[in-house]
Amino acid sequence: MNEFLTSMAGVVAAATPVVVAVIGETLTERSGVINLSLNGLIVLTAMVGFACAYLTGSVWLGILAGFVTGVVAGLIISFSSISLRQSQVAVGFILSLMFRDLAYFLGTPFMVIPGPTIGSWSIPYLKDIPIIGQLFFRQNPLVYFSYFLIIGSFYWIFHSRPGLILRGVGEQPTSAYSRGIHVNRQRYLYTALGAGLAGLAGPMYTLNIKAGWNGTMTGLDGIGWIVLSITIFGGWNPLRGAFGAYLFVFLQWLGLALQPHLVNVPSQVLQVAPFPLMILTLLFVNIGDTEWVAKMLAKLPRGLRGAVYRIIRFLRKPPPASLGVPFERE
């Protein structure tokens, strides 16, 4: 049992960067902007964070560097979308490739050398709570930060005034505009902030989970795409998104754990398995919306139809209506 708890604590720690990135992208997309560069961005901030920490000796400067890099990326995307009116998808995609290559290129001097790591810090009293203590309160400070982030962002988005305005901007920018809100300013802000948070995910890996910069073996390549999928899976809700992140990393761990029992299946497949599962979920989340499904459902008997509708409505959370669409005043 103890071993299991230790592994689970490890899952919590490993999921934290994903959680933080998902919350960041949730904020960005809530304002109506999509940041497709996440995959390259996280790899880049992983390198930048490590390099900075290595050069300065300070782990926290490394983390700050990751955040700042993220903010810059967010500004590039919002600027090219809002002021230059170019496609968010195009710029985001190009950046995802460029950031990744920049990370590998500029990171060569920092390969496979030991660097500072974030120590763990058990919280007194809380750490001794049976089970929960071992899972959640014997972690490093960044994990504790993620707890605050989950709760804080949830309250911010759904129970605060500025969060209300954020949601308004994402849903109906024209209505928000006629109520005097500076739609584009909000988008700049949240894209930069969201990308900054996603930028924290990189250093969280290289300064803690898998310490050091190992180039292509860092294991981060692909995580950005997963963050984007989990954001959708989470229905643009930080709580659900965090759940998705924990679930994803848990499934990865499960794959490794089950390995000795599934001799015929190569380990790499189990590692990759959560990805297609995510996509299938996306499919089910979206499928309730299409015309032909609606027609089919209309033919079901009443009782069954109600139940199916409820399931679909639970799974399906519509995106912010203005996602990806630039806002232009007349």
Which residues, including other chains, have CB under 8 Å from residue 48's CB and lie 6 or more apart? 62, 65, 66, 69, 103, 202, 203
Cross-strand bridge partners of residue 213: 111
Q: Is residue 177 close enough to count as binding other proteins by CB under 8 A?
A: yes
Contact stretch for other proteins (CB under 8 A) within 113-121, 148-156, 174-182, 241-249: 174-182
Cα dihedral across residues 206, 249, 245, 231: positive or negative: positive
88 sits near other proteins (criterion: CB under 8 A): no
Q: How far is the CB of 16 from other proteins (least distance, A)?
A: 22
Span near other proteins by CB under 8 A; candidates 5-13, 143-151, 244-252, 271-279:
271-279
Which of the stretches 92-100, 136-144, 202-210, 242-250 binds other proteins when contact is defined by CB under 8 A? 92-100
Query: Using the rule CB under 8 A, which residue among 61, 123, 165, 211 binds other proteins?
Result: 165
Measured from the CB atom, the residue of 77 and 142 that comes closer to other proteins is 77
Q: Interface with other proteins includes 223 (CB under 8 A)?
A: no
Helix ranges (H only) for the chain are 2-30, 38-56, 59-78, 88-106, 132-136, 141-159, 161-171, 173-178, 183-204, 223-233, 238-258, 267-272, 274-287, 291-298, 302-315
Cα-based distances in Å from 294 to 122, 280, 287, 303: 52, 19, 9, 16
d(CA 113, CA 103): 16
User: What is the spatial distance between Cα 323 and Cα 315, in angstroms, rounded to a whole number?
Assistant: 19
Residue of the chain from 94, 123, 239, 308 that contacts other proteins (CB under 8 A): 94
Residues of span 96-135 touching other proteins by CB under 8 A: 97-98, 100-102, 104-109
Structure tokens at 146: 């993620």
When asked if residue 217 is in the footprint of other proteins (CB under 8 A), the reply is: no
Residue placing its CB nearer to other proteins in the complex, 128 or 289: 289
CB of 251 to other proteins, least distance (A): 13
CA distance 78 to 98: 17
Distance, in Å, from the CA atom of 208 to the CA atom of 108, rounded to the nearest integer, reads 19
Residues that bind other proteins in the complex, under the rule CB under 8 A: 36, 80, 83-87, 89-91, 93-95, 97-98, 100-102, 104-109, 161, 164-165, 167-168, 171-172, 174-182, 215, 222, 225, 228-229, 232, 264-269, 272-273, 275-276, 278-280, 282-283, 286-287, 289-290, 292, 318, 321, 329-330
